[in-house]
């Protein structure tokens, strides 16, 4: 199989879809890998390392996409990449289609086989290709939030951990999954007072256990969310309904009642955001203010720490890349129902229910198209 690894062109996205280690394994198995010039440079993988691992370095993104049977990326394609779509292309990457109908239409029109990292399931029913980046973004959310709480960045000028004689900041984490747990861990480590809200009571029990009762847990309902956001200096949004548009847990009215200079980091923004006033931002223009509350809503937070993130992401994605290369996409998906959950678009049909429901469109079960 010919595998294309283009350079990411989303704003300040410095990760890359395959490392030189992956190229070596693919090449040794007889596959050809085309890597666009400088695709890995910002993740500390120069072209030379790819070349030594067996890749062909190509200067033209169109050539990289056009010659490849499968393109392996990190982020969802942006408009400049839409002309590369075609019906015999397998695209393996984050897609986040639910809040992006424009991209969905383009993939459907071109009949691309679109396999989304974020909806692949493993045997434990977790999301193995989302987890590593949620770990990164969850940890980052607290350091970013702490920085925006500084006066110069528009925040209320509060030090997360406080000092002897002065209380720490109050961090409210909404969603106790991978993002939320990692955020809580870092916030606690920095000395903040942490409240975590989730709908799943069993998850709250686990959180209580993991943190030995040092995190205050709250069941998710609008009363509790209103109170916890009002008290918070920093709110971190990490809610997910896999593949679907995120529910708006924090309403505009709740934001208007928050402290002036408080900060919201809506990590769930890649799925549309769980805060009503959140809109997608980029690393070059990451924040804005609504009702005196600073909002940070970058859709590709891990792109800011590409060395760590590329390694963490590809550790998880590469075994799936290898399976597609070995078996072909259809057979690889057919053999593993959890992997088949990653199939979001196929032959002009939406094959992930969360995407179809979010866009109120027809859903086609992956099993029926993979026969």
Ligand X SMILES: NC(=O)C1=CN([C@@H]2O[C@H](COP(=O)(O)OP(=O)(O)OC[C@H]3O[C@@H](n4cnc5c(N)ncnc54)[C@H](O)[C@@H]3O)[C@@H](O)[C@H]2O)C=CC1
Q: Is 5 marked as a binding-site residue?
A: no
CB-nearer residue toward ligand X: 192 or 267: 267
Among 247, 328, 338, 348, the residue binding ligand X under the rule CB under 6 A is 247
Does 133 interact with ligand CC(=O)C(=O)O (rule: CB under 6 A)?
Answer: yes
Among 2, 199, 305, 311, the residue binding ligand X under the rule CB under 6 A is 199
Q: Is 98 marked as a binding-site residue?
A: no
Site track 91-110 with ligand CC(=O)C(=O)O (rule: CB under 6 A), x = hit: ---x----------------
17 binds, among ligand CC(=O)C(=O)O, ligand X, none (CB under 5 to 8 A by kind): none
| Backbone region of residue 144 per phi and psi (left: phi > 0; alpha: psi in -120 to 50; beta: other values) | alpha
| Active-site residue identified among 96, 233, 266, 336 | 96
Place of tokens 């079960």: 365
Smallest gap from Cβ 178 to ligand CC(=O)C(=O)O, in A, equals: 10
Which 3-state string (H, E, C) describes the chain? CEEEECCCCCCCCCCCCCCHHHHHHHHHCCCEEEEECCCCHHHCCCHHHHHHCCCEEECCHHHHHHHCCEEECCCCCCHHHHHHCCCCCEEEECCCCCCCHHHHHHHHHCCCEEEEHHHCCCCCCCCCCCHHHHHHHHHHHHHHHHHHCCHHHCCCCCCCCCECCECCCEEEEECCCHHHHHHHHHHHHCCCEEEEEECCHHHHHHHHHHCCCCCEEEECCHHHHHHHHHHCCEEEECCCCCCCCCCCCECHHHHHCCCCCCEEEEHHHHHCCCECCCCCEECCECEEEECCEEEECECCHHHHCHHHHHHHHHHHHHHHHHHHHHHCHHHHHHHCHHHHCCEEEECCEECCHHHHHHCCCCCCCHHHHHC
Among 160, 197, 254, 369, the residue binding ligand X under the rule CB under 6 A is 197
Smallest gap from Cβ 94 to ligand X, in A, equals: 8
CB-nearer residue toward ligand CC(=O)C(=O)O: 155 or 243: 243
Question: Residue 322, exposed/middle/buried by CB under 10 A (0-12, 13-18, 19+)?
Answer: middle
Rounded Cα distance between 267 and 286, Å, is 12
Contact 273, 9 (CB under 8 A): no
Catalytic (active site) residue 96: yes
CB-nearer residue toward ligand X: 220 or 287: 220
Residues 111-130 that bind ligand X (CB under 6 A): 118, 130
Does 282 interact with ligand X (rule: CB under 6 A)?
Answer: no
Does 266 interact with ligand CC(=O)C(=O)O (rule: CB under 6 A)?
Answer: no
Q: Which stretch binds ligand X (CB under 6 A): 58-66, 107-115, 227-235, 261-269?
A: 261-269
Among 27, 37, 143, 200, the residue binding ligand X under the rule CB under 6 A is 200
Smallest gap from Cβ 298 to ligand CC(=O)C(=O)O, in A, equals: 9
Structural tokens at position 124? 């434990």
Does 220 interact with ligand CC(=O)C(=O)O (rule: CB under 6 A)?
Answer: no
Q: Is 153 marked as a binding-site residue?
A: no
Q: Is 203 marked as a binding-site residue?
A: yes
Does 302 interact with ligand CC(=O)C(=O)O (rule: CB under 6 A)?
Answer: yes
Rounded Cα distance between 6 and 126, Å, is 28
Does 174 interact with ligand X (rule: CB under 6 A)?
Answer: yes
Residues 211-240 that bind ligand X (CB under 6 A): 220, 238-240
**Residues contributing to the site for ligand CC(=O)C(=O)O (CB under 6 A):** 75, 94, 130, 133, 270, 300, 302
Binding annotation for NAD(+)? 134, 198, 203, 220, 239-240, 267-270, 279, 298-301
Binding annotation? 15, 75, 134, 198, 203, 220, 239-240, 267-270, 279, 298-301
The set of catalytic residues is 96, 270
């Amino acid at each position: 199989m010919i595998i294309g690894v283009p350079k990411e062109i989303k704003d300040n996205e410095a990760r890359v879809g395959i490392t030189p280690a992956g190229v070596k394994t693919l090449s040794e198995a007889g596959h050809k890998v085309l890597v666009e010039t400088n695709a890995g440079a910002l993740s500390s993988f120069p072209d030379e390392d790819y070349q030594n691992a067996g890749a062909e370095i190509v200067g033209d993104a169109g050539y990289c996409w056009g010659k490849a049977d499968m393109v392996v990326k990190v982020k969802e394609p942006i408009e400049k990449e839409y002309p590369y779509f075609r019906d015999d292309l397998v695209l393996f990457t984050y897609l986040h289609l639910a809040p992006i109908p424009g991209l969905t239409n383009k993939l459907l029109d071109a009949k691309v086989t679109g396999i989304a990292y974020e909806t692949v399931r493993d045997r434990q029913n977790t999301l193995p290709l989302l987890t590593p980046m949620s770990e990164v973004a969850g940890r980052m959310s607290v350091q970013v939030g702490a920085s925006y709480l500084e006066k110069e960045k528009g925040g209320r000028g509060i030090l997360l951990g406080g000092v002897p004689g002065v209380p720490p900041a109050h961090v409210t984490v909404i969603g106790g999954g991978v993002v939320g747990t990692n955020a809580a861990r870092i916030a606690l480590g920095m000395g903040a007072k942490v409240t975590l809200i989730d709908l799943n009571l069993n998850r709250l029990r686990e959180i209580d256990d993991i943190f030995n009762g040092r995190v205050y847990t709250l069941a998710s309902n609008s009363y509790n969310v209103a109170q916890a956001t009002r008290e918070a200096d920093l709110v971190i949004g990490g809610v997910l309904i896999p593949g679907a548009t995120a529910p708006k847990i924090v309403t505009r009215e709740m934001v208007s009642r928050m402290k002036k200079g408080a900060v919201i980091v809506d990590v769930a923004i890649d799925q549309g955001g769980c805060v009503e006033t959140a809109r997608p931002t980029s690393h070059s223009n990451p924040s804005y203010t609504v009702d005196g509350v600073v909002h940070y809503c970058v859709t590709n937070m891990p792109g800011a720490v590409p060395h760590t993130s590329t390694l963490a992401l590809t550790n998880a994605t590469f075994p799936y890349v290898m399976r597609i290369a070995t078996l072909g996409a259809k057979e690889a998906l057919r053999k593993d129902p959890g992997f088949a959950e990653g199939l979001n678009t196929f032959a002009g049909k939406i094959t992930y229910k969360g995407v179809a429901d979010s866009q109120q469109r027809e859903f086609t079960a992956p099993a029926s198209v993979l026969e």
